């Protein structure tokens, strides 16, 4: 059984760009639709919390974090690149 990877984004332009590249450059993968509800950077409630996206320079995978503590660790690691806020979520 092969390994499955997932990429999440709340940015429609990023989703459209990735779909275009997958179709026109022979990339494997497909669009599965909405996985869960989030708020875009431009359309968020006042009490929403940011979820940051990190890229692993070791294996080209992504990690998503809403934890300031976890982010402080990732931000000081040479193996992770902070790609900024991916979306906003409601705090629990």
Q: What is the pLDDT of residues 55-72, one digit of tens each?
A: 998 988 899 999 999 999
**pTM for this entry:** 0.73
Q: Output the six-digit token pair for 62.
A: 């992504």
> What is the end-to-end Cα distance of the chain in Å, rounded?
35
Rg (CA), the chain: 15
- Residue 88, strand partner residues: 39, 50
Between 5 and 1, residue with greater pLDDT: 5
pLDDT score of 4 more than 70: no
Between strands 62-65 and 80-89, the pairing is unpaired
What percent of the chain shows pLDDT beyond 70?
95
Q: Is residue 74 a contact partner of residue 18, using CB atoms and an 8 Å limit? A: no
Q: Is residue 74 a contact partner of residue 82, using CB atoms and an 8 Å limit? A: yes
Q: Is residue 18 a contact partner of residue 11, using CB atoms and an 8 Å limit? A: no
Q: What is the pLDDT of residue 2?
A: 47
């Amino acid at each position: 059984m092969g390994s499955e990877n997932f990429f999440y984004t709340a940015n429609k332009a990023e989703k459209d760009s990735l779909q275009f590249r997958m179709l026109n450059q022979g990339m494997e993968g497909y669009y599965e639709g909405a996985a869960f509800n989030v708020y875009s950077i431009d359309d968020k409630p006042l009490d929403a919390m940011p979820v940051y996206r990190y890229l692993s320079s070791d294996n080209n995978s992504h990690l998503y974090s809403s934890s300031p503590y976890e982010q402080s660790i990732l931000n000081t690691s040479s193996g992770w690149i902070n790609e900024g806020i991916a979306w906003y979520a409601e705090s629990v």
